[in-house]
Amino acid sequence: MAKCEICGKSVQFGNNVSHSNRKTSKIWKPNIKKIRVLENGRNLKRFVCTRCIRSGKITKAV
């Protein structure tokens, strides 16, 4: 579910690296919000990342 429906941004995988250089698995999730979006004259609920909201790629419905 952690995926932006506008830009497709989703989870990223990597490692936490400690000071002693030990590696443990780590997952980074994007900041996803469920908001009402105005799309083709209709109000729809979409999962959108905050970067898309901030940059104006979508128009919020009121």
Q: Which helix (H) or strand (E) holds 14?
A: strand 12-17
* Structure confidence at residue 62 as a pLDDT band (50, 70, 90): confident
Q: Give residue-wise pLDDT tens across range 1-56.
A: 789 999 999 999 999 999 999 999 999 999 999 999 999 999 999 999 999 999 99
- β 32-39/23-28 pair status: unpaired
What are the structural domain ranges in the chain? Answer: 12-55
